[in-house]
Chain A
Amino acid sequence: MNVMTSPVALDVERIRQDFPILAQTIRGKKLVFLDSAASAQKPRAVIDAMVLAMETQYANIHRGLHWMSERTTEAYEATRDAVAELMHANDRAEIVFVRNSTEAINLAHSFGRGVMRPGQAVLISGMEHHSNIVPWQLLRDQHGIELRVAPVTDAGELDMAAFEALLEDGKVGLVAITHMSNVLGTITPAERIVRIAHAYGAKVMFDGSQAIVHRKVDVKALDCDFYVWTGHKLYGPTGIGVLWGRRELLERMPPFLGGGDMISSVTYEQSTWAAVPHKFEAGTPAILEGIGLKAAVDYVQAIGYNAMADHEASLTEHALARLAAVPGLSILGQAQDRGGVISFALDGAHAHDVATLLDRQGIAVRAGHHCAEPLMHRFNLDSTARASFGIYTTHAEIDALADGLLRVREFFA
């Protein structure tokens, strides 16, 4: 590893000590957890932050006038600051807390409802998760918005010429696209996408559910308009996700859910909305999960994105080499710029059988369509197996996967 580009190399053995679950054994075998892209494991710091809040400092937030409520509100709102810093946002009010990426995209959908006009279009890509397809289909059917899909090349990259062609008539109001594919591992050329989209007058929303785990996300440098992600993939709790949006856009958007906490005043005739971000945060939020998310963000920041990206690049390179040496194995997608998510098919063995037989060896991978059926159809597949890596993944675990796959192949031969 190049010491110059990685002054603080990641000490994976020390990191593993932070994740209590990694000490578990499965069927008497050491757990090899290669399903972090579905949901990552949690470090002790996150577990402790949530337990400590429940044990010492917990009440409902934003409305209590008592000590406990004030302290809990401070802790919860400190997460907003930490997230704004993580994403290099200008303004903490641009951070909206939601349940997960899916909810964040549904919230961004209120941009389509409130700001876009019938006849305009939303442009997605051919490698989206269902959560970045279905909300736009709802918008299409309810609001007269056209849904366009930019194709994916055989290598699993965004077809940039076709992408630009779909913007040329100026009808696209919003480009909603993944920053990293949960199936192919492809990192999309985000800066270029934004430059092109803005040139044709379209706003850009990135689904960063996978990307933010692997790459530093700087919304100012990206120059995008919305960016969504979820806490549980970034070593944080489930039930808390983030929508970042430019303040002027958030202010133009109608509320997403109605209820308490999101209003300024209510009469039977009409209500007025609270300022952003609270306009979008109706009801009691995921307080403990929010507090846990700050611990996760602090944990990731302490390790540093450079060290995480170097570690992951090294793992991915090793995995691609080891998997390529398994006879009959084909890897889906060969993008130049890719992260630590690898989907593959094994000749003569169905992905579900592969996953079950790996599980018998203590190795956890995902199998199925990965909530991306149109992408599977693009490659004429029903399902693949998928291995994905996190900060705690070791080279030895990738060797275990490759050896395990050799056994599966022999078993089915």
Chain B
Amino acid sequence: MTATEDFDDLRDLYQEVILDHGRKPRHALRLDTFDATAKGDNPMCGDRVQVWVKFAAESIDQIGFEARGCAISVASADLMAETVQGRGKADTRALFEAFRDMARTGVCSHCPPELAEPLDRLAPLSGVHEYPSRVKCATLPWHALIAALDGTKEASSE
């Protein structure tokens, strides 16, 4: 039996990309100079995330985060940072709506075609829809990011 087959029953939610980004996040850093920051807190499970953003005009120029939580929340924060870097604010909000839909239902039912590519990069997280209590793990960093865009300091996962 190969290692892959051995873990088949565990892979649907924890795909390799999630394990990888959960273990070695690329954007897990505090920005020295930033325009906005916000914290996200899930009091139910103790997951915490803070997001820092630097804008260039109406786009996200740089983004970094610090997260304390499960592999899903850390991987989601990292994939989010990767996907929204260089993206416009309005576009980022639309992507959050689409991602939340995908996290809750497994698919994005009314997905604008221009979001198909970024959403595809976030698709490894769609498995959380099978675990309603874990959906918040995936959406928490997004709530923090949207709070930063809105100029509020804190976001709760619900």
Interface residues in chain A, defined as those with a beta carbon under 8 Å from any beta carbon in chain B: 27, 349-353, 356-357, 360-361, 367-369, 376, 382-383, 407-408, 411-412
- How many contacting A-B pairs (Cβ < 8 A)? 52
Nearest A residue (CB) for B13: A356
> Cβ of B70: which chain A residues have Cβ within 8 Å of it?
350-353
Show 23 residue pairs from A and B whose CB-CB distance is below 8 angstroms, ordered by the A residue: A349-B71, A350-B69, A352-B45, A352-B70, A352-B72, A352-B134, A353-B72, A356-B13, A356-B14, A360-B10, A360-B13, A367-B45, A368-B44, A368-B45, A369-B46, A376-B46, A382-B47, A382-B68, A383-B46, A407-B7, A411-B7, A411-B10, A411-B19
> Cβ of B7: which chain A residues have Cβ within 8 Å of it?
407, 411
A412 touches B46 (CB 8 A): no
> Cβ of A408: which chain B residues have Cβ within 8 Å of it?
10
Interface residues in chain B, defined as those with a beta carbon under 8 Å from any beta carbon in chain A: 6-7, 9-10, 12-14, 19, 23, 44-47, 68-72, 131, 134, 137
A382 touches B46 (CB 8 A): yes
Give the distance to chain A from B33, nearest Cβ to Cβ, in Å: 30
Nearest B residue (CB) for A348: B23
The list of the 7 closest CB pairs from A to B, nearest first, reads A382-B46, A350-B70, A352-B70, A353-B71, A353-B70, A360-B10, A383-B46
> Cβ of A353: which chain B residues have Cβ within 8 Å of it?
14, 70-72
> Cβ of A383: which chain B residues have Cβ within 8 Å of it?
45-46
Query: In the bound complex, how far is the Cα of B14 from the Cα of A357, in angstroms?
Result: 9
B44 touches A350 (CB 8 A): no
A352 touches B19 (CB 8 A): no
Query: In the bound complex, how far is the Cα of B43 from the Cα of A376, in angstroms?
Result: 13
> Cβ of B134: which chain A residues have Cβ within 8 Å of it?
352, 356
Give the distance to chain A from B39, nearest Cβ to Cβ, in Å: 15
Give the distance to chain B from A407, nearest Cβ to Cβ, in Å: 7
Nearest B residue (CB) for A350: B70
Query: In the bound complex, how far is the Cα of B13 from the Cα of A382, in angstroms?
Result: 23
> Cβ of B23: which chain A residues have Cβ within 8 Å of it?
412
Give the distance to chain A from B15, nearest Cβ to Cβ, in Å: 12
- Greatest chain B CB density within 10 A among A27, A408, A411 is at A411
Query: In the bound complex, how far is the Cα of B73 from the Cα of A356, in angstroms?
Result: 13
A407 partner, pick from B10, B12, B13, B71, beta carbons under 8 A: B10
Instruction: Knowing A350-B71, A352-B134, A411-B14, say if A360 contacts B9 (CB, 8 Å).
Output: yes
Instruction: Knowing A356-B131, A407-B10, say if A412 contacts B19 (CB, 8 Å).
Output: yes
Nearest A residue (CB) for B22: A353
> Cβ of A407: which chain B residues have Cβ within 8 Å of it?
6-7, 10
Give the distance to chain A from B42, nearest Cβ to Cβ, in Å: 10
> Cβ of B72: which chain A residues have Cβ within 8 Å of it?
352-353
Give the distance to chain B from A78, nearest Cβ to Cβ, in Å: 39
A352 touches B137 (CB 8 A): yes
Query: In the bound complex, how far is the Cα of B23 from the Cα of A349, in angstroms?
Result: 10
Query: In the bound complex, how far is the Cα of B12 from the Cα of A349, in angstroms?
Result: 17
> Cβ of B19: which chain A residues have Cβ within 8 Å of it?
411-412
Nearest B residue (CB) for A412: B19
Nearest B residue (CB) for A358: B10
> Cβ of B9: which chain A residues have Cβ within 8 Å of it?
27, 360-361
> Cβ of A411: which chain B residues have Cβ within 8 Å of it?
7, 10, 14, 19
Give the distance to chain B from A354, nearest Cβ to Cβ, in Å: 9
Query: In the bound complex, how far is the Cα of B20 from the Cα of A411, in angstroms?
Result: 12
Query: In the bound complex, how far is the Cα of B68 from the Cα of A352, in angstroms?
Result: 12
Give the distance to chain B from A399, nearest Cβ to Cβ, in Å: 18
> Cβ of B12: which chain A residues have Cβ within 8 Å of it?
360
Query: In the bound complex, how far is the Cα of B134 from the Cα of A376, in angstroms?
Result: 21
- Greatest chain A CB density within 10 A among B12, B19, B46 is at B46
Give the distance to chain A from B28, nearest Cβ to Cβ, in Å: 15
